[in-house]
Structure formats: C-alpha cells, structure tokens
C-alpha cells in the first residue's frame, strides 16, 4: 500500500504530495509520538496505578469478577496494571496497528498473555457476545484518551459509545472524573498572538501608523486550540483578573453525552483590567473520592507541590472574541461552548438595571457558534507569526535596515508570506513598491491587498498576482528591481532553514534585478549549539521499565522508527517553552549569500565543537540568523545567553531545530574539554539540511 504525504518543498515554497511506502507514515507517527513522554510521566503512571488498584478492589469487594475494558491501550500499560492489581480479565483495545502489535509483544514479555486480550480495532467497532471480541460487558472502564484540551482526541464520543455498548451500568471508571478549570487574564503578550497591533513608523514626512483592516480587528480567530507550556510564561507577562473557577466536569462512570453543549459560570473580577484571554487546564480524579488527583494546574495555582513536567498534556490559551474592559467586583458570565472535539469561550456582562432573573441567566445568544476566522489572516498566520509581526524590536531592526538601503528612486520588490515590509518600504521613501503574493489562487487566505487598502495604499503598492518564479517584466512595468526585500517568512516552512526559500525566489527573479541590486537580508547564517535540556529530552528517551513493567519493546520500536531514514532528521520545537542550558558556545556553521544565486553544488561543513560545561549533551539546537544590512541582524534562535550557567533565551516567535543525539554524552571536566564532531550538509537541490554528530 502506498500513502501520500503532504510536504512543503523548501525550494519552491509550495506543498507537494509525495508518494511514500506504507511504512513511512507509521514510522513518522511512532518517531514523533508522545508514547515515550507518557511513559516518563511518573505522576500520571503512579496515579493511574493507584486508581486502577482501588477500582479492582471495589469490584472484588462486591464479590464480582473484575472485567476491564482498556480503550486505547498503547503499550498495554494500563491493562498490565489492572492484571497485576488482580483483574480477572482485560480487553485492551488499540486502533493503531503498529501499537496493537507492540502491545501484544509487551503483554507477552511481561507474562500477562492469559489475562489480557489485545484487540486491534477502534472501540466503536468492538463487538460483545459469545462470538464477539468481548465475551461480556466490562465492569471497569480504563482509558487515557485525553489531550491538552481534554476532549480533542475524541474522548467524549468514545465514552458515549462505550457506555452504550461495552460496559455495564454502574461500572467503575479510571479516571472517575475530569474537571476543567479557567482563569480570566489580561496579557499583552498572549493577546499579540491573536491580533495585529498598530505599528508606528517615523517616516520622512512625520509619524505614520500602520493599522490592520477592520475585519482583522474584529475577527474571532480560529477554533484550533492554542496549547502551551504555561509554566514557562513568567508571571510578569500576564495579570490574573479572576480566581481559578471550575468550568465543567465529566463523570466517566456514568453515560456520557458528546453532543454540543455549553456551560456557564458567574465571575467576579478580582481586579479591573482588559479581559482578553481565558487560561484553562484540567485535572482528573482517578477515584470517586477525589483522593487520587492528577492535575495540569500551572505553577501559580499549586505553588507548593512539585510540578510534573509533561508535553503530552499542557495548558490551553483561549482568546476571547474581543477584548472586554472589566471592573473589579462586577458580575460577569463566562460561557464555555463545546462540540465533540473542541471548546471555546465567551464573556458577557450581567446587564445593568436588569431584573434579578436577567442577571442570573443572560438570555442573549445562549449558544455561541464556534469561532470562524473572517479576516482570513488567522488562516495564513499561526499564533507565533502574529506575535512576530507584533514584535516592535524586530520591526525596528527592519525599519533601520530599510532606511539604510532605500533611496528615493528605489524600485522595491517584497517576497514574503503576508508581510509589513511593503508598507514600511513605502513609508520610508521607496519610489515604487511591489509585493508578491505567495498563494495567488488561494482566495480563502488573507490577501495583502486588504492590509494595503486599510492604510490607503492600494494605489501605492502593486501586488503581483504571481509567484516569484512566474514574474514577468510587465509585472514591474518593465523596470528592474533595485531593492529586493524579504523577512523571510513563508507559511509552509517547518524547520528554520525552510525560509531559505527566499534565496530560491531571489534566484528565480534574477533576470529582473538591477546590476547593483541590494538584497535585504543580504545573507543568512545557520548556527548550532550543543545543549542539555531540562526536560525535553524525555520525549525521545527510552523508558526501559515503567512502574515495574518492561516496555523496552516500545523503546526499540521508537529507535527503529527514528533510524528509518538513513540520516536522522532534526525536529522543530519552540524552545522558549523548553528550557535548556548550552554546553558549547554557539557556532556559525553555514552561510548563505543572498547577493548571489543558489549554487548548483551542495554546501557542506565539518568541524568540532568543544563541550565547555559540565552536563548531559542531549542534542544540538540549530537556528537561522538573517543579516539585514551592515551591522543589523535578527536571530530566529538564540537571543541571549544569560549567565555563567549557560541558560538560554530563545526567540519567542520561532521554532528552532532540535537534533536529538541517539545516545547522550556526559561531559565532566572543563580542563580537558570533550569535542563533538559534526558534519552538516545543505542540499541545494532539495533545500534540506542533513547532519551527523559524533563524540
Ligand atoms: N493507554 C496507554 C496509551 C495512551 S495513548 C497509556 O496510558 O500509556 C492513547 C491511545 O489510544 C493511542 O494509542 C490511540 O491510538 C488509541 N485510541 C484512541 N482512541 C481510540 C479508540 N476509540 N479506540 C481504540 N484506540 C484508540
């Protein structure tokens, strides 16, 4: 069987569908899966085990046989816990075939084959009866089907079906219940992920203010969850406007309804401010008494208990449709609406002067539709990109650089996916500004025209409805480009070097460039550093024994998948969320000269880097820096190395590339520094970078 995998081609900036063997998809899935992270989540595992033991005992005390249904068994871990706790039989359901196969092996290796039946099906396909997958309905329902938003992986429909068809009435459930909590906050930083703020520019003829189109101003954004490691958000970056409030609970031991619904709570701000964001997280009680609780509460909520780091469950940031000024002590209603898979929030004020009944139950638009982006910018730019566009320091660097290179007779072409640069170039005095449109045929995506129009520049900036490769002299009114600019930013980029598409585009438009053209950025460089992660290493590290069960089969499977391609690949991670310390100095490893065209040959480098600090080398981090003009650079990676200890500050709007070493290296002493050698190759034909590291 063949599968088609969508992949952006960094040499063309567009999506391509590649035919891959059947194995490819599954190796990708395993290699990038969260299984290792879950197996390393000690807090989760211990509490599941306690909850399962308690549930089995309760059933046994009633004199019943303990029949367990484990939906989404993965490695078989929760079923093995149940069998060890004395369950009579477990049905372990797993829809993902490679995992079901692994579960069979793991169950056998741990000696539970007679107690656990692994069924490779989606739970809704499972049959019950003498000839069915299950002999009878189960009386203990165990699952771990939750994502950061709780319901995003389909827990509700799965539970709804299981209660109807697969478990007995009055069954025990582990977890017994989940509760979703919310807190209303004001945060310029997080709000900048949803809205475009006005940009102030000191132009020749006075201050100009770039404003977003009104459609963008009032756009509710997209419904997809924004899940982040909230524990990395310093308390100085937000103001809490309310206490933590319980939004809703789901009792998993009773029939569950998955149909769309809403929940409403009354709130009283503890502080006046601008309500912008709803922060949310959940906890699960493994038993009915609530004594075994596993919580995702962030640091300021549970400051005393040690936080368990995990990446498979984080916290959610929800953006209110509009910013709402609120006063301390006033009455507000917060509504959480949900469909089967996602949640969204609305805030309403209790109407002043209204009668009592009105205040208790606001009647207006009881159920609010899921947010749908109307301005289409939220479909083009993700949240990090909004943050990047709102980053004044960064904009300032571009303004400084543009000032240096622009002249009054400049004919300027901008190549980027929706950028402020054409407007900045115009304000800073370029005679003629053209802007390419990266997806001219995609009418569903934001079009730069709307932004230019909002600033009354639709006649000043010419939009070229063609990709750079198809540029014709007529597009430029038969003029040559004297200044070519780009951020560079392209929505299809996954890894930092994919934005080198700018270089390919620059090459494609070569014949349109004046002989003395200025290219901004003039060059880019790839930088690399060896790091020790505080926690991120867990997601790719073998687990071995988990709560007494041998899960090495899973470790081997992940390792196989990681080695599936000849050379391992780097993966993108936003490192502001994942603290690490540098063990080496940052090193520039490759440079890309945008004043010249992309060469035919590959760009390779080899070298070694010294480990200067004591620590565990988990991997290398790579990022790009763009040299806009003489002495003006922007980094998409390391911003600062703050202190002696090597703690790093990363660009908060960009993902960096992380290459995990297949085995970790411990460096001990500084007098005789260990060296790591590297070989890095930029394949100019594919736009991809391959790398290899050796101790
Ligand atoms: N129970 C394991 C793994 C949890 S990950 C543990 O706790 O360590 C969730 C697993 O459930 C995934 O492997 C996914 O493929 C599977 N899954 C999700 N929904 C399912 C369903 N309705 N039926 C069967 N498997 C499901």
Q: What is the pLDDT of residues 340-384, one digit of tens each?
A: 999 999 999 987 654 444 445 544 445 568 889 988 889 889 999
Contact 278, 184 (CB under 8 A): yes
Across 142-151, 414-423, 504-513, least confident range: 414-423
Which pLDDT does position 418 carry in this prediction?
A: 85
- Please give the share of the chain, as a percent, with pLDDT higher than 70: 94
The mean per-residue pLDDT over the stretch 577-597 comes to 96
Query: What's the pLDDT at 359?
Result: 46
86 and 186 assigned to the same domain: no
The pLDDT value given to residue 563: 73
Q: Helices then strands (H, E): number in the chain?
A: 16, 38
Residue 13 lies in a domain: yes
Measure 73 CA to ligand 1 centroid, in angstroms: 5
Position in ligand 1 atom list of the atom nearest CA 126 = 23
Strands (E), 134-212: 138-143, 167-174, 177-186, 199-203, 206-210
Same domain, 195 and 316: yes
Instruction: Report whether residue 493 contacts ligand 1, using a CB cutoff of 6 Å.
Output: no
For the segment 148-154, the average pLDDT, to the nearest whole number, is 96
In a shared domain, residues 463 and 426 = yes
Rounded distance between C-alpha atoms, residue 74 and residue 593, angstroms: 48
pLDDT at 674 over 90: no
- Report the nearest-CA residue for atom 10 of ligand 1: 72
Q: Say yes or no: CB of residue 625 within 6 Å of ligand 1.
A: no
List pLDDT tens digits, range 169-204. 999 999 999 999 999 999 999 999 999 999 999 888
Q: How far is the CA of 554 from the centre of ligand 1 (A)?
A: 14
Residues 108 and 126 in one domain: yes
DSSP per residue over 499-521, as a string?
Answer: GGHHHHHHHHTGGGEEEEEEEES
pLDDT digits (tens, 9 = 90+) for 248-261: 999 999 999 999 99
Q: Is the CB of 654 under 6 A from ligand 1?
A: no
Locate the ligand 1 atom nearest the alpha carbon of residue 154 and give its number: 19
Same domain? For 92 and 186 the reply is no
- Gap from CA of 293 to ligand 1 centroid (Å): 21
Same domain? 322 vs 395: no
Q: Are 574 and 654 in contact (CB under 8 A)?
A: yes
- Give me ligand 1 centre to Cα 104, in Å: 14
Q: Is 563 part of a structural domain of the chain? A: no
188 and 207 fall within a common domain: yes
For residue 666, what pLDDT is reported? Answer: 75
pLDDT in tens, 121-141: 999 999 999 999 999 999 999
CB 161 within 8 A of CB 124: yes
The verdict on the CB of residue 133 being under 6 Å from ligand 1 is no
Can you tell me which atom of ligand 1 is nearest the CA of 93? 24
For residue 314, give the 3-state DSSP assignment: coil
Q: What's the 459 CA to ligand 1 centre distance in angstroms? A: 55
Nearest to 128 by CA among 176, 99, 165, 158: 165
Residues 286 and 398 in one domain: no
Query: For the chain, how many structural domains are there in total?
Result: 5
Ligand 1 and 294: CB distance under 6 A: no
Report whether residue 95 contacts ligand 1, using a CB cutoff of 6 Å: yes
Among 252, 287, 92, CA closest to 159:
252
Instruction: Give the residue carrying structure tokens 């306690």.
Output: 50
Cα 26 to ligand 1 centroid, rounded to whole Å: 15
Q: What is the pLDDT of residues 457-501, one digit of tens each?
A: 999 999 998 888 899 999 999 999 999 999 999 988 999 999 999
Does a structural domain hold residue 623? yes
What is the CATH number for 405? 3.40.50.150
Q: What is the dihedral of CA 603, 606, 610, 616, to 10 degrees?
A: 80
Q: How far apart are CA 585 and CA 638, in angstroms?
A: 11
Query: Any idea which residue has 């320091």 for tokens?
Result: 393
Q: Would you list the DSSP string of 652-695?
A: TT-PEEEEEEEEEEEE--SSS--EEEEEEEEETTTTEEEEEEE-
CA-nearest residue for atom 22, ligand 1, is 123
CATH code for the domain in which residue 290 is found:
2.70.160.11
Q: Tell me whether residue 144 is one of the annotated catalytic residues.
A: yes
Under 8 Å between Cβ of 616 and 665? yes
Same domain, 246 and 129: no
Instruction: Confirm whether 570 is domain-assigned.
Output: no
Question: Looking at residue 481, what is its pLDDT?
Answer: 96
- Please state, rounded to an integer, the average pLDDT across all residues of the chain: 92
Closest CA to 342 of 458, 255, 224: 224
- Of 58-67, 262-271, 370-379, least confident by mean pLDDT is 370-379
Is residue 640 domain-resident? yes
Q: 79 in ligand 1 pocket by Cβ < 6 Å?
A: no
Confirm whether 324 is domain-assigned.
Answer: yes
Is 343 found in the same domain as 275? yes
144 lines ligand 1 (CB under 6 A): yes
Q: What is the per-residue pLDDT across 615-638, written as a single tens digit (0 to 9) for each?
A: 999 999 999 999 999 999 999 999
What's the confidence (pLDDT) of residue 466? Answer: 86
CB 139 within 8 A of CB 166: no
Checking if the pLDDT of 448 tops 50, the result is yes
Q: Clarify whether residues 258 and 152 are in a common domain.
A: no
The answer to whether residue 43 is domain-embedded is yes
Burial class for 368, CB neighbours closer than 10 Å (0-12, 13-18, 19+):
middle
Q: Indicate the top mutation candidate among 34, 90, 95 to test ligand 1's pocket, ranked by most ligand atoms within 8 A of CB.
A: 95
- pLDDT computed for residue 358 by the predictor: 46
Is 423 part of a structural domain of the chain? yes
Is the same domain home to 245 and 321?
A: yes
Which domain range does residue 193 map to? 178-350
> Is 186 annotated in the active site?
no
Q: Which one, of 691, 669, 667, lies nearest residue 681 by Cα?
A: 691
Domain boundary among 478, 493, 520: 520
């Amino acid at each position: 069987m063949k599968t088609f995998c969508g992949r952006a081609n960094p040499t063309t900036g567009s999506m391509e569908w590649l035919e891959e063997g059947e194995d490819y998809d599954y190796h990708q899935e395993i290699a990038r899966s969260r299984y290792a992270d879950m197996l390393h989540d000690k807090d989760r595992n211990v509490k599941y085990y306690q909850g399962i033991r308690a549930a089995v005992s309760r059933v046994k005390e009633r004199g019943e046989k303990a029949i367990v249904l484990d939906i989404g068994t993965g490695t078989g871990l929760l079923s093995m816990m149940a069998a060890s706790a004395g369950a009579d039989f477990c049905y372990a359901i797993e829809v993902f075939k490679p995992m079901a196969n692994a579960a069979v092996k793991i169950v056998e290796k741990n000696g539970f084959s007679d107690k656990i039946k692994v069924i490779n099906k989606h739970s809704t396909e499972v049959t019950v009866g003498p000839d069915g997958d299950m002999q009878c309905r189960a009386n203990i329902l165990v699952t771990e089907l939750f994502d950061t938003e709780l319901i995003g992986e389909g827990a509700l429909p799965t539970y709804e079906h299981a209660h109807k068809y697969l478990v007995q009435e009055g069954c025990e459930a582990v977890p017994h219940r989940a509760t979703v909590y919310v807190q209303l906050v004001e945060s310029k930083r997080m709000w900048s992920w949803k809205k475009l703020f006005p940009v102030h520019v000191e132009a020749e003829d006075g201050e100009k203010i770039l404003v977003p189109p009104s459609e963008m101003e009032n756009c509710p954004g997209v419904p997809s969850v924004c899940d982040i490691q909230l524990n990395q958000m310093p308390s100085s970056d937000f103001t809490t406007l309310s206490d933590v409030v319980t939004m809703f609970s789901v009792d998993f031991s009773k029939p569950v309804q998955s149909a769309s619904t809403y929940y409403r709570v009354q709130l009283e701000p503890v502080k006046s401010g601008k309500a912008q964001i709803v922060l949310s997280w959940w906890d699960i009680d493994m038993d009915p008494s609530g004594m075994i609780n596993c919580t995702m509460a962030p640091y300021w909520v549970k400051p005393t208990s040690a936080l368990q780091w995990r990446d498979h469950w984080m916290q959610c940031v929800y953006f209110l449709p509009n910013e709402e000024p609120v006063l301390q002590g006033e009455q507000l209603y917060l509504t959480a609406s949900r469909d089967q898979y996602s949640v969204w929030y609305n805030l309403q004020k209790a109407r002043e002067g209204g009668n009592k009944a009105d205040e208790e139950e606001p009647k207006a638009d009881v159920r609010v539709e899921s947010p749908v982006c109307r301005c289409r910018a939220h479909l083009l730019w993700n949240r990090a990109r909004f943050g990047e566009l709102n980053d004044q320091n960064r904009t300032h660097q571009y303004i400084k650089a543009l000032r240096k290179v622009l002249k009054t007779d400049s004919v300027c072409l901008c190549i980027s996916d929706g950028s402020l640069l054409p407007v900045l170039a115009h304000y800073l005095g370029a005679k003629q500004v053209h802007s390419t449109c990266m997806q001219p045929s995609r009418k569903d995506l934001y079009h730069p025209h709307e932004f230019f129009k909002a600033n009354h520049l639709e006649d000043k900036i010419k939009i070229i409805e063609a990709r750079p490769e198809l540029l014709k002299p007529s597009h430029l009114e038969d003029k040559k480009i004297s200044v070519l600019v780009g951020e560079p930013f392209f929505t299809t980029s996954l890894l930092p070097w994919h934005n080198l598409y700018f270089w390919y585009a620059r090459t494609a438009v070569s014949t349109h460039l004046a002989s003395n053209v200025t290219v901004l950025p003039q060059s880019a460089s790839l930088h690399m550093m060896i790091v020790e992660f505080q926690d991120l290493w867990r997601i790719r590290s073998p687990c071995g024994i988990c709560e007494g069960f041998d899960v090495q089969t899973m470790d081997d499977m992940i390792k196989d998948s990681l080695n599936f391609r000849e050379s391992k690949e780097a993966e993108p991670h936003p490192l502001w969320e994942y603290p690490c310390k540098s063990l080496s100095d940052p090193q520039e490893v490759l440079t890309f000269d945008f004043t010249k065209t992309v060469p035919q040959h590959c760009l390779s480098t080899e070298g070694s880097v010294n480990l200067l600090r004591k620590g565990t080398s988990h991997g290398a981090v790579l990022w790009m820096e763009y040299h806009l003009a003489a002495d003006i650079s922007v980094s998409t990676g390391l911003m600062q190395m703050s202190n002696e200890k090597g703690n790093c500050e990363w660009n908060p709007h960009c993902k960096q590339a992380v290459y995990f070493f297949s085995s970790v290296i411990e460096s001990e002493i500084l007098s005789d520094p260990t060296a790591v050698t590297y070989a890095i190759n930029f394949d100019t034909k594919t736009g991809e970078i391959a790398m290899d590291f050796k101790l």
